[in-house]
A and B are shown apart, each in its own frame.
Chain A
């Protein structure tokens, strides 16, 4: 990853004298260690999601009434739930639900919010007014009510959750990016691009956005944590992914009645969510150290 992106100038380098190798700035150089640690954790979760069918010992949906609420054993490492389903298999398959929804539920609002924030800050005037007043309205609207309304309108499931997150979460990106654009917009290199007669949209795309996008990148990992937690919370409340699909938040809810006897049913999914959150937070914190320095 230390290789710089190929430059348009690679073709023109008929350098005569040999020089010391170029010291490329390499954004990946000097990344704090915690970024690698966090990324390793997140990667592990992703691998589990991808290879779930190979890793899971049982079918996560297979009901076995004879073997209900079994304790952990060699056969069922994390025991079984009240319907006799293998908890480990359900945990593994749940990664295929929670991780994509968590990432999409943060990535879509990040893209939407960054674009809207850049437009608002760069064009100002009525564009700014319309976007920022809309942001005020969204922010003033109670989040849980909106999700409940969406779930009733669109039906329960991943689609509603992702739409709800996108509708709600773009506001923070828009505010961050807009204020950054307002700062960058007055720098000399933007003025120079203007005087060079470059089209407005090109100035925004090539000269403004690349210089503000790091703000989005820094916030994104934290937002993925929020989205994952949000999904778990909605599922816990019965607004998220409908049963019998395995999902960590729903598993916590299902395990809750048995906290006294089979405490691991609710605790293990909780710890797994914490682990993912930790990995993402480490990445976010490391990126912040590097990009906001």
Chain B
């Protein structure tokens, strides 16, 4: 039995328009072990969502994907797959916006029952029972009654639970999460995170969770991958990354998380702008915004290298990082 359930190597996603090619995901490699929750953090445009969507083949038709994607079904070794192979068999996804992620013309119970009917050959009645069970499992009160409701009759939190139930209906071993808590208010966010954590434990699923919110990732994930400018710049166990970032971008991200003690004047952002994928800077892509940058950084080859057990960084001078100051 292989340890890895998903392996992504040298993933590149590019778009060509008007004779110009942009590569918003530029050489991403990552792996997920069984039962693990991997968090991918990064700002808008870092390529985190595209990375997630290329795993499941949800990119727009004008995208070009290059790279080696392997997925391990059952207890086999990870093997190359086409997205259609894992649709309904192994990988599911939940989205950010609960408003647009549920078909408004379908009762939520019918929506959840669809997967079991198609894939597990259940008849209408058995699929209904299964849907109600799933709804109960994701903590929807009075599921028999709510199964008959339309999406617009449910609150955002309940819709998100319905989406999770639908994603679980095909019994995935890997659940992809595309910022599923971003559109929810904080208390609901917490409930959904708790639910995902619980489901992960009880179902033994692996999770890949994409978010810009470090606090959310810290709560759910075992391991973090930080993305910047279409590349992964640092990976490691969540606690270690938080305690001792090995890349200046990670450090800057954590410094810019507002804390209760900070007053408005003390809020810190990261100077400069996120890089434009049409013209990534040479060398380390964070160098133009990096407070520690030296001349060598602008020509440095981007390569993740091990710094300690289970930790990698793309920074060539991680020893310069002073740590997070609050």
- Interface of A toward B, CB cutoff 8 Å: 7-17, 19, 22-23, 25, 124, 186-189, 191-199, 202, 206-207, 210-211
| Chain B: minimal CB distance from A199 (Å) | 7
User: Which one of A12, A17, A23, A189 lies within 8 Å of B103 (CB-CB)?
Assistant: A189
Q: Does B259 contact A (CB under 8 A)?
A: no
> Is B145 in the interface zone, CB < 8 Å from A?
yes
**5 other contacts beyond A187-B100, A191-B58, with CB at 8 A cut-off?**
A8-B107, A8-B124, A15-B144, A195-B92, A210-B105
Interchain CB contact (< 8 A) of A196 among B92, B125, B148: B92
- A193 surroundings in chain B (CB, below 8 A): 103, 114
- Chain A's closest residue to B129 (CB) is A12
**CB closest residue in chain A, given B125:** A11
User: Are A25 and B147 also in contact (CB < 8 A) when A187-B100, A196-B92, A198-B118 are?
Assistant: no
Q: Is the CB of B88 within 8 A of A196?
A: yes
Contacts of A189 in B (CB 8 A): 100-104
Chain A contact surface mostly: loop
Please give, as numbers and ranges, the residues of chain B lying within 8 Å of A15 by CB-CB distance: 142, 144-145
Nearest-neighbour CB distance to chain B for A133, whole angstroms, equals: 20
Residues of A contacting B93 in the complex (Cβ-Cβ under 8 angstroms)? 191-192, 195
Partner of A197, one of B61, B88, B132: B88
- The yes or no answer to B196 lying at the interface (CB within 8 A) is no
Interface residues of B in 73-107 (CB under 8 A from A): 84, 87-89, 91-93, 95-97, 100-107
Q: Which of A8, A16, A186, A206 has the most CB of B within 10 A?
A: A8
Q: Would you call B315 an interface residue if the criterion is a C-beta within 8 Å of the partner chain's C-beta atoms?
A: no
Can you report 25 residue pairs joining A to B where beta carbons are below 8 Å apart?
A: A7-B110, A8-B113, A8-B128, A9-B107, A10-B148, A11-B128, A12-B132, A13-B144, A15-B142, A15-B144, A16-B142, A19-B142, A22-B148, A25-B150, A187-B100, A188-B95, A189-B102, A191-B93, A192-B166, A195-B58, A196-B115, A197-B115, A198-B88, A198-B114, A211-B105
B173 an interface residue at 8 Å Cβ cutoff? no
Chain A residues contacting B61 (CB-CB under 8 Å) are 124
Instruction: Tell me if A197 and B89 are in contact (CB < 8 A).
Output: yes
What is the CB-to-nearest-CB distance from A142 to chain B, in angstroms, rounded to a whole number? 37
Is B326 on the interface with A (CB-CB < 8 A)? no
Contacting pair B91 A7 (CB below 8 A): no
Among A7, A186, A192, A195, max chain B CB count under 10 A is at: A195
A8-B113, A188-B95, A211-B103 as given contacts; A195 in contact with B144, CB under 8 Å? no
Cα distance, A2 to B142, chains bound together (Å) = 24
Kindly list chain A residues whose C-beta atoms are within 8 Å of the C-beta of B169: 196
A196 with B114, Cβ < 8 A, contacts A19-B142, A189-B101, A211-B103 known: yes
Given known contacts A11-B125, A22-B149, A197 and B170 CB-to-CB distance under 8 angstroms: yes
A81 smallest CB distance to B (angstroms): 51
Most buried by A among B56, B109, B132, B145: B145
A8 to B147, CA, bound (A): 9
Question: What's the least CB distance linking A102 to chain B, in Å?
Answer: 29
Closest to B104 in A: A211
When the two chains form their complex, are residues B118 and A25 in contact, meaning their CB atoms are under 8 A apart?
Answer: no
B119 interface hit (Cβ, 8 Å): yes
Chain B residues closer than 8 Å to A211, beta-carbon distance: 103-105
Residue of A nearest to B95 (CB): A188
Q: How many whole Å from B204's CB to the nearest CB in chain A?
A: 20
Contact B107 A7 (CB under 8 A): yes
Q: How far is the CA of A197 from the CA of B166 in the complex (A)?
A: 12
What residues of chain A lie closer than 8 Å to B142, measured between beta carbons?
15-17, 19
B163 contacts the other chain (Cβ, under 8 Å)?
yes
In the complex formed, the residue of B with least CB distance to A189 is: B103
